[in-house]
Structure 1
Amino acid sequence: MDLHHLEAFLAVAEELHFGRAAERLHIAQPPLSRTIKQLERDLGAQLFDRTTRSVRLTTAGEALVRPAQDVLEGMRTARRAVRSAGRGETGRVRIGFAGPSSHVLVGKLGRVVREQHPGIELMLQSTTYNYEALRQLQDGELDLAIARWRIEPQGLDHRVIAVERYVLAVPAGHRLAGREEVSMAECRDEAFVALPADPGSSVRDAFIDTASQAGFAPNIVQTAPDTWTAVALVAAGVGLTFTLDTALANVVQTGIELVAISECERPTFQQIAWRQDDRSPALQAVLRASEEALPTPDLPSEPGA
């Protein structure tokens, strides 16, 4: 029994006339009759009572109608699904990101994808720090990553979606509060709250490098799992934190103030990245949507511009 047999059976069952069923199937009547007989032999049951004047379904034939319809509808559904996936209308796209600035960007992307491609599901991994996100992307564990980096990653295409600058978050009332700018060297004796080293945060790496260039190893008194926690600890007076202006723009800032860092005039860039060899139609659809949701901003023409 195959789909050809079921299509023939349903045509006869619905027309109750072999001639009309043959016309509907665009075949001659004798091949149709042979197909029905083959199906009956395969099932070991007579499906139709035939006379010279009429065709009727037997009890066995009536029992086959609904299963046959379900099988053919299932096949049509499968074909539609394959065609839709091939056109990028359905599918899944896995996105890795971390931090409050990325959460806002993902929200914008998710809204546009939902409006333009409701059949595409975004699978979000919200605690994937930059270097881990890039590794997972290169290994095929992610399809997209929102990240920033200092060394060009291999095998990836990417596009800038945000221009950012490093700043210090200090408690309200701190000696540095109210300053427009501070040198990192002035923070030699300060206590700091930092993101963990293990997940591979580019912000932490930039913090350590900036302090090192200023001639000291920072006194990290508390590690925070994310920027929200770090800001809460700063507001409580635990220490300062080195972070990004875009991250703090999306965090409640009660009890803290932001101060620019003179050594960090040069901006950093948040980017959306994907594998160069990934031709998934769903991914391509999401990338097109990202150009509307997360357009590339005007980039500084010179470092520090």
Structure 2
Amino acid sequence: MEIRWLEAFIAVAEELHFGNAAIRLRMAKSPLSQVIRKLEHSVGTELFNRNTRSVELTSAGHAFLPHARMVLEDLELARQSVKVPEGVVYGHLSLGFTGVLNQRTLPRFTRAVRDTYPEIELSLVGRVMTQEAIAQLDAGTLDLAFVGLPIDSTRIETQLLLRERFGMVVPTGHPLVDQRHVELSMFSEDHFITPPIGGGSALYDDTIRACTNAGFYPIISQQITDPYMSMMLVATGVGVAYLPEGVRPVVPPGTAFVPLEGEPVYMNHGLAWSKIRGSTAREAFLGLVDEVLAEGL
């Protein structure tokens, strides 16, 4: 098995298109197909299902992908090892996050990594919802991700970082803005702006569950992946949004955060990573978690 075979496999697995993968690798499509055939012969099974219209990973391909990435990452670490002084932690980490929902956690952790391990290269991947994050952690395209807890996966480790009580983001002209006691049930006639249904968002699930428990099913007017864009739509009067209190300092002009009375409901912010062996850089990041939490978020 050759390194270039693994590079070709990863390119096709990420592009799911032989032509695009060939362009990315700066080679012709036919030689690329031959390389993939050699790799499949080497491992003894097909890694892709392909026809004239589509390419997709087989179950064996899905299983092979994170290990292929790990081999190339180890090779890159080996190259870096000859350039970095002994005892210095180095490497590359990809960290997934949602957006404004992580405005309390993301800056603290990225600052801690930069200050403690300056040789670790940290790539931030935005707008990654919980279920997508789990899939990317499984595939090895993410090393770590901020997620909403709990999650349903036996292949992923998690740690609770922060709990935030939910409230409502409403237009400043909303009749409940100046009310002293506001409950979620009082928004039963409002139009809600939520993450996309079926998009794997923990926030969407929290919204539906909370409204149902309050005695109504929300009228959904818009579905937006980015929570900050949801708040921008609130400002235009499109609807209201059920969001955790951590967004309160960053709500856009024309909106207000309204705390909710009654039984408190919380968003549980967590950090997630794969149970598959991780890099020294990932272990160093995880070693900072308790330190950051002790300082407060």
- Which residue is 1:137 aligned to? 137
* 1:82 CA displacement: 5.5
User: Where in structure 2 are the equivalents of 1:166-177 lying within 5 Å?
Assistant: 166-177=166-177
Matched, 1:281 2:263: no
Q: Distance in 1 between matches of 2:251 and 2:271?
A: 25
* 1:176 CA displacement: 0.9
Considering only CA atoms, is the larger Rg found in Structure 1 or Structure 2?
A: 1
Paired residue secondary structure (2:288) = helix
Q: Distance in 2 between matches of 1:196 and 1:174?
A: 24
User: Where in structure 2 are the equivalents of 1:250-269 lying within 5 Å?
Assistant: 251-262=250-261, 265-269=264-268
Q: Distance in 1 between matches of 2:269 and 2:295?
A: 10
TM-score by length of 2: 0.65
Structure 1, unaligned runs of 5 or more: 1-76, 299-305
Q: Is the 8 A contact 1:165 1:264 kept in 2?
A: no
Paired residue secondary structure (2:140) = coil
Q: Distance in 1 between matches of 2:176 and 2:185?
A: 13
Matched, 1:217 2:247: no
* 1:127 CA displacement: 1.1
Aligned residues: 221
Deviations 1:181-205 (A, max 9, x none): 4222222211122222243111111
Paired residue secondary structure (1:165) = strand
- Which residue is 2:123 aligned to? 123
TM-score by length of 1: 0.64
Structure 2, unaligned runs of 5 or more: 1-76
Deviations 1:30-72 (A, max 9, x none): xxxxxxxxxxxxxxxxxxxxxxxxxxxxxxxxxxxxxxxxxxx
Q: Is the 8 A contact 2:97 2:146 kept in 1?
A: yes
Distance 1:264 1:240, change over 3 A: farther
Deviates more, 1:266-275 or 1:115-124: 266-275
- Which residue is 2:232 aligned to? 232
Distance 1:210 1:117, change over 3 A: same
Q: Distance in 2 between matches of 1:165 and 1:85?
A: 45
Partner AA of 2:285 in structure 1: V
- Which residue is 1:24 aligned to? none
Q: Distance in 1 between matches of 2:99 and 2:247?
A: 7
Q: Is the 8 A contact 2:210 2:265 kept in 1?
A: no
Q: Is the 8 A contact 1:179 1:259 kept in 2?
A: no
Q: Is the 8 A contact 1:181 1:259 kept in 2?
A: no
Q: Distance in 2 between matches of 1:276 and 1:297?
A: 27
Q: Distance in 1 between matches of 2:203 and 2:258?
A: 16
Deviations 1:214-260 (A, max 9, x none): 333211122233121111221222211111111333x2442222222
- Which residue is 2:243 aligned to? 243
Partner AA of 1:185 in structure 2: S
- Which residue is 2:98 aligned to? 98
User: Where in structure 2 are the equivalents of 1:48-197 lying within 5 Å?
Assistant: 81=81, 89-197=89-197
Distance 1:167 1:102, change over 3 A: same
Distance 1:277 1:241, change over 3 A: same
Deviations 1:158-199 (A, max 9, x none): 222212111111111211112344222222211122222243
Paired residue secondary structure (2:231) = helix
* 1:126 CA displacement: 0.8
Q: Distance in 2 between matches of 1:151 and 1:110?
A: 23
